[in-house]
C-alpha cells in the first residue's frame, strides 16, 4: 500500500470514543492510520472497511513484549510513525479507601505504564528520523483532582509528569510532545468503559458516592463532541509550534482554571513563610 506522501499515525484504543473519532477523522483527512484494538474481530472488520487507508492491529498496551514486537513490525513494514497518539486507557471511580491495590495497579498499567512503554518503544525510531509528534490523551482530571476520581487522577497526573519532562528532553531532537486534556465528552467513558471500585464505604456517600452518581448520570449527555475534538487534535499536529497542553471542552477550561486559581491562592498565602525557610 502506498503511504509515501502520507503521514502515518499510530493511535491506540480506536474501537470507540475519542480514539475511534480521531482515527476516522485522520483517515478522512488523507493520512494513514495504524490503530489498535483489543478485540480481534474488531481489528478484522476495521481492516476490511479501510483497506489501503488504514491498518488495524490487535494489541493490549499492558502486554509489554507484544507492544515492543508491534512497534518493530510497524517500522519494518512502514518505515516510520509520524504521529503517536497514546489514547488507550481506562476510567475508574471510587474513594481512595475503597480502592484495592489490585484495582489501582490495573489502572496504572493501562494509563501510565502501558503508555510509558509504548512511548519508549517508539522514541528510538523518532530520534533516528529526527522528527515525530507524540500526543498523550490525558484529561482535565490530569490537572485537577475530584473526590471519587483520585486513582484515575493519579494515573493521569503521572502521565502528565513524565510527558512534561519528555517534551523538554526531545525538543532538541526534533520531536514534539503535546498533552490533550479533554473534559467530559460523549463517549463510553462514563458508561460500559468505566471501572468502579468493588468496595463501597457508606461514609463516602456524599463525596465519592455523589461523584459516581453524577458521572453515571451524564453518560450520553456530555457536552463534548468527539468529532470536533478530533479536528482540534489534527489542527494541533498541523501547527508550526504546537503547545504542550491543549484543554478540550468548556468544563475542562473551567476546572483547570479553578486549579490554577487554587494553587495561586496557596502560593500567595504561604509566600512569606516559604521565602523564609532558607539559609540566611
Catalytic residue positions, numbered: 138, 152, 156
Instruction: Identify the burial level of 106 via C-beta atoms within 10 angstroms of its C-beta, where 0-12 means exposed, 13-18 middle and 19 or more buried.
Output: middle
Helix residue ranges per DSSP H, the chain: 17-29, 40-49, 64-78, 101-108, 115-129, 150-170, 208-217, 226-238, 250-276
What is the phi/psi pair of residue 4, to 5°? -55, -45
3-state percent breakdown (helix, strand, coil) of the chain, nearest 5: 50, 15, 30
And the C-alpha cell for 264? Answer: 495561586
Q: Please count the CA atoms within 13 angstroms of the CA of 153 that sit on its side-chain side.
A: 14
Contacts for 118 with CB less than 8 Å, ≥ 6 apart: 12, 61, 67, 71, 84, 86
Find out whether 61 and 110 touch, Cβ atoms under 8 Å: yes
And the C-alpha cell for 84? Answer: 503517536
Distances (CA, A) of 163 to 44, 89, 92, 237: 32, 16, 21, 16
Contacts for 39 with CB less than 8 Å, ≥ 6 apart: 15, 58
Amino acid at each position: 500500500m502506498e503511504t509515501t506522501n502520507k503521514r502515518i499515525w499510530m493511535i491506540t484504543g480506536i474501537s470507540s470514543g475519542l480514539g475511534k473519532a480521531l482515527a476516522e477523522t485522520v483517515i478522512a483527512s488523507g493520512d494513514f492510520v495504524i490503530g489498535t484494538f483489543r478485540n480481534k474481530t474488531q481489528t478484522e472488520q476495521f481492516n476490511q472497511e479501510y483497506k489501503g487507508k488504514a491498518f488495524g492491529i490487535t494489541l493490549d498496551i499492558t502486554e509489554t513484549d507484544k507492544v515492543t514486537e508491534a512497534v518493530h513490525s510497524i517500522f519494518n513494514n512502514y518505515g516510520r510513525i509520524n504521529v503517536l497518539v497514546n489514547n488507550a486507557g481506562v476510567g475508574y471511580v471510587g474513594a481512595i479507601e475503597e480502592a484495592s491495590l489490585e484495582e489501582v495497579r490495573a489502572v496504572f498499567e493501562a494509563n501510565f505504564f502501558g503508555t510509558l512503554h509504548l512511548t519508549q518503544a517508539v522514541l528510538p525510531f523518532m530520534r533516528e528520523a529526527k522528527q515525530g509528534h507524540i500526543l498523550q490523551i490525558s484529561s482535565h482530571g490530569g490537572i485537577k483532582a475530584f473526590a471519587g476520581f483520585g486513582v484515575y487522577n493519579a494515573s493521569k497526573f503521572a502521565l502528565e509528569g513524565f510527558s512534561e519532562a519528555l517534551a523538554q528532553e526531545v525538543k532538541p531532537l526534533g520531536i514534539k510532545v503535546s498533552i490533550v486534556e479533554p473534559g467530559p465528552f460523549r463517549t463510553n467513558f462514563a458508561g460500559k468503559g468505566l471501572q468502579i471500585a468493588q468496595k463501597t464505604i457508606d461514609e463516602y456517600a456524599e463525596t465519592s458516592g455523589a461523584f459516581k452518581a453524577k458521572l453515571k448520570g451524564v453518560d450520553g449527555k456530555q457536552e463534548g463532541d468527539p468529532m470536533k475534538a478530533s479536528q482540534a487534535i489534527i489542527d494541533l499536529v498541523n501547527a508550526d509550534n504546537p503547545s504542550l497542553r491543549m484543554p478540550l471542552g468548556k468544563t475542562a477550561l473551567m476546572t483547570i482554571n479553578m486549579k490554577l486559581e487554587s494553587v495561586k491562592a496557596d502560593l500567595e498565602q504561604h509566600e512569606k513563610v516559604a521565602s523564609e525557610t532558607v539559609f540566611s
